[in-house]
Amino acid sequence: MEIKVLKKLMAAQEADAEISRKFFSDMNVAAVNMMSSPGSGKTALLEKTLEALGGEIGAAVVEGDILTTLDAERLARFGIQTAQINTGPFGGDCHLEAAWVRSAAEQLNLSRVDLLFVENVGNLVCPAEFNLGVDANVVLISVTEGEDKPAKYPIMFRSCDLCVVSKIDLLPALDFDMELLEKNIRAANPGLRVMKLSAKTGEGVGEWLDWLRGMSASKKQKI
Ligand SMILES: Nc1nc2c(ncn2[C@@H]2O[C@H](COP(=O)(O)OP(=O)(O)OP(=O)(O)O)[C@@H](O)[C@H]2O)c(=O)[nH]1
Ligand SMILES: [Mg+2]
């Protein structure tokens, strides 16, 4: 019986994800879901991205946090539209769900938006289980988290299209084995594309921006 209930719940999530996929497609936006442990650098990378892109690509952000609008405020400084989802008032969920993201996105004027970033709640476990119907799922892992994370949290790495290894400017201060991390990533998801970058120094950010340009170009341009 429990299994049946769980199946029904997840089937409802998948149905919602399909509605969102159609919504993003109708709105002609490329939706990119950013996931990671708390503090891996999702907002910092978005800040760097918005600074580097300027107005080149129309962007907007749906922010997910248990409480606060701190990250949305950091990103609104770049003159983009932001919509905040706080899960705290309704149970403090540690992930976002497709219907919530769609409702938040519906609050935005997407007529000039080509790229819609979703910053998920900082968590390496739960967000991976919820299909948001986006165009791409991205996981960040910072070099301070340890090489073993893809082995310990494989579902996240399996459910993503891109893995960003962040904070590489800190490598000289750490005993971090990049080869071991990459081996663990490949074991979790052999085909997963990996990019290494620092939002602080900008090293490697060019490859990320090119990937975003490709995502945006896969949709009809609005500007
Ligand atoms: N040295 C260094 N620090 C970074 C880099 N990226 C982020 N940080 C720092 O890491 C901390 C957390 O960064 P955030 O961007 O807030 O992380 P987040 O993933 O958005 O965190 P949550 O939204 O709380 O899950 C901040 O103090 C950042 O300044 C980087 O590339 N290099
Ligand atoms: Mg953040």
Residue 191 has what DSSP assignment? T
Distance CA 153, CA 125 (A): 7
Give the pTM: 0.96
Mean pLDDT of 153-169: 98
* CA distance linking residue 39 with residue 220, whole number of Å: 33
Cβ of 200 closer than 6 Å to ligand 1, yes or no, is yes
**Ligand 1 site, residue 167, Cβ cutoff 6 A:** yes
Question: Which residue's alpha carbon is at the smallest distance from atom 5 of ligand 1?
Answer: 167
pLDDT (mean) for 199-213: 98
CA of 45 to the centre of ligand 2 (A): 9
- Could you tell me the pLDDT band of residue 6, with boundaries at 50, 70 and 90? confident
* Mean pLDDT, the chain, whole residue set: 95
Q: Which of 68-72, 77-81, 87-91 has the lowest mean pLDDT?
A: 87-91
CA distances from 118 to 3, 105, 180, 188 (A): 30, 9, 29, 24
Helices (H), 95-177: 98-106, 149-152, 154-158
Q: Is the distance from the beta carbon of residue 219 to the nearest atom of ligand 1 less than 6 Å?
A: no
Q: What tokens were used for 132? A: 């948001």
- pLDDT tens digits, residue range 100-133? 999 999 999 999 999 999 999 999 999 999 999 9
Pick the atom of ligand 1 nearest to 198's CA: 31
Residue 57 has pLDDT above 70, yes or no: yes
In the chain, what are the domain boundaries?
A: 2-217
Q: Give 10-32 pLDDT, tens digit per residue.
A: 899 999 999 999 999 999 999 99
pLDDT band at 1 (very low <50, low <70, confident <90, very high): low
The pLDDT score that the predictor gives to residue 186 is 98
Tell me whether residue 42 is exposed, middle or buried, using C-beta atoms within 10 angstroms of its C-beta: 0 to 12, 13 to 18, 19 or more.
buried
Enter the CATH code of domain 2-217: 3.40.50.300
Q: Which two tokens stand for residue 180?
A: 């071991």
How many CB atoms within 10 Å of residue 44? 19
Task: Tell me the percentage of the chain whose pLDDT exceeds 70.
Answer: 99
pLDDT of residue 120: 98
Q: Is the pLDDT of residue 175 over 70?
A: yes
Residues contacting 60, CB < 8 A, separation 6+: 80, 81, 82, 83, 108, 110, 113, 115, 116, 117
